[in-house]
Copies of this chain bind each other. A is one copy, B any other.
């Protein structure tokens, strides 16, 4: 780390900082400028943190030089990770992964119909919510274990991997039993106990970006999962919170190239939650694929007017089908394929 001293720091302040650094085993390299002194320090930040240095007299700022995540970092692994999620589907390779399905699972009949439909249009992973995090305690909270069974049945029927969210450490085992990919939702991205628990479950994890999380916090959340031995983490950009109200969230398209620069993990895009409105889903989906996303997660509902959750952002099956045809051309234009 680099310690920038204040203009007004005394020689005594500077000596005190150097002494503490050396006491903790750091090598110090002071640079004396005309007005300011800067101290380069090489050592183990677990022994003495930046925060502790910041407290010392005469210190203006402390700048890190190492990234705080390691397993998720491209510095550790330069090749893009490709994650096998079952039924022959891989996320992060040349073929795009398309997760599709309703926001909430409502019945076997509803889910099966949507599943068959999205498969016919070219989706390769089924999504659906059995445990729903809803902002109101009075809203429909999901079918829970019954929903998991419904989803499992449809996955078998269609020979597609299924992805569903877990919201409680106590349910991880159950959800892992039924699903192929476990989703950590935006609201739980920093539910660290849940991250540790899914890190132990052996299934690939879809990690949504938090409502207002930085790229660094997101990769640190991936690091939590990976630190438990589970390297199969798929990032999912789903829009961030900004002042703009024309869309529910602001889809951060730059997250795609930035994540590719910083990490080897695959990244998919969720235009449904990002925009909150079916009218804008297609434009953002196409943009994400052109920008290099490894896949998409799209809400599809056969009767969005009657959806138990998030109807306005769901595409009808025919619109989803039309979108897949458009996406196919864009995928080809950027050297990818859409199965």
Interface of A toward B, CB cutoff 8 Å:
2, 4, 7-8, 20, 29, 31, 33-36, 38, 40, 42, 46, 49, 51-52, 54-56, 63, 65-66, 68-69, 75, 133-138, 167-170, 187-188, 190-193, 196, 210-212, 214-217, 220, 223-224, 227, 240-247, 250-258, 261-262, 274-275, 278-280, 282-284, 286-292, 304-307, 310-312, 326, 329-330, 332-334
Q: Output the nearest chain B residue to A330 by Cβ-Cβ distance.
A: B333
B254 and A286 contacting across the interface, CB-CB below 8 Å? no
Cα separation A76 to B163 with both chains bound (whole Å): 41
CB distance from A339 to the nearest CB of B (A): 17
B246 and A254 contacting across the interface, CB-CB below 8 Å? yes
Cα separation A216 to B246 with both chains bound (whole Å): 8
Note all chain B residues with C-beta closer than 8 A to A334: 286, 326, 329-330
A55 and B242 contacting across the interface, CB-CB below 8 Å? no
A312 and B33 contacting across the interface, CB-CB below 8 Å? no
Note all chain B residues with C-beta closer than 8 A to A63: 2, 63
A283 and B254 contacting across the interface, CB-CB below 8 Å? yes
A254 and B257 contacting across the interface, CB-CB below 8 Å? no
Sorted nearest first, the 9 A-B pairs with minimum C-beta distance are A212-B212, A290-B290, A287-B291, A287-B287, A257-B283, A329-B333, A31-B40, A187-B190, A168-B193
Q: Output the nearest chain B residue to A282 by Cβ-Cβ distance.
A: B257
Q: Output the nearest chain B residue to A37 by Cβ-Cβ distance.
A: B65
Query: 8 interchain pairs (CB within 8 A)?
Result: A7-B75, A36-B65, A51-B311, A68-B138, A137-B220, A188-B191, A242-B252, A257-B275
Contacts known (A212-B212, A214-B246, A215-B244); A167 close to B192, Cβ less than 8 A: yes
Note all chain B residues with C-beta closer than 8 A to A187: 190-192
Contacts known (A311-B51, A329-B333, A334-B326); A135 close to B252, Cβ less than 8 A: no
Counted per complex, copies of this chain come to: 4
CB distance from A143 to the nearest CB of B (A): 16
CB distance from A136 to the nearest CB of B (A): 6
Cα separation A2 to B261 with both chains bound (whole Å): 22
B65 and A190 contacting across the interface, CB-CB below 8 Å? no
Q: Output the nearest chain B residue to A73 by Cβ-Cβ distance.
A: B7
B212 and A241 contacting across the interface, CB-CB below 8 Å? yes
CB distance from A55 to the nearest CB of B (A): 5
Q: Output the nearest chain B residue to A250 by Cβ-Cβ distance.
A: B252
Partner of A257, one of B42, B252, B284: B284
Q: Output the nearest chain B residue to A262 by Cβ-Cβ distance.
A: B246
CB distance from A298 to the nearest CB of B (A): 15
A250 and B240 contacting across the interface, CB-CB below 8 Å? yes
Q: Output the nearest chain B residue to A303 by Cβ-Cβ distance.
A: B55
Contacts known (A170-B170, A190-B187, A290-B290); A243 close to B241, Cβ less than 8 A: yes
Note all chain B residues with C-beta closer than 8 A to A283: 253-254, 256-257, 291-292
Partner of A138, one of B46, B137, B214: B46
Cα separation A278 to B56 with both chains bound (whole Å): 12
Note all chain B residues with C-beta closer than 8 A to A227: 137-138
Q: Which of A7, A35, A244, A310 has the most CB of B within 10 A?
A: A244
A253 and B256 contacting across the interface, CB-CB below 8 Å? no
Cα separation A311 to B54 with both chains bound (whole Å): 9
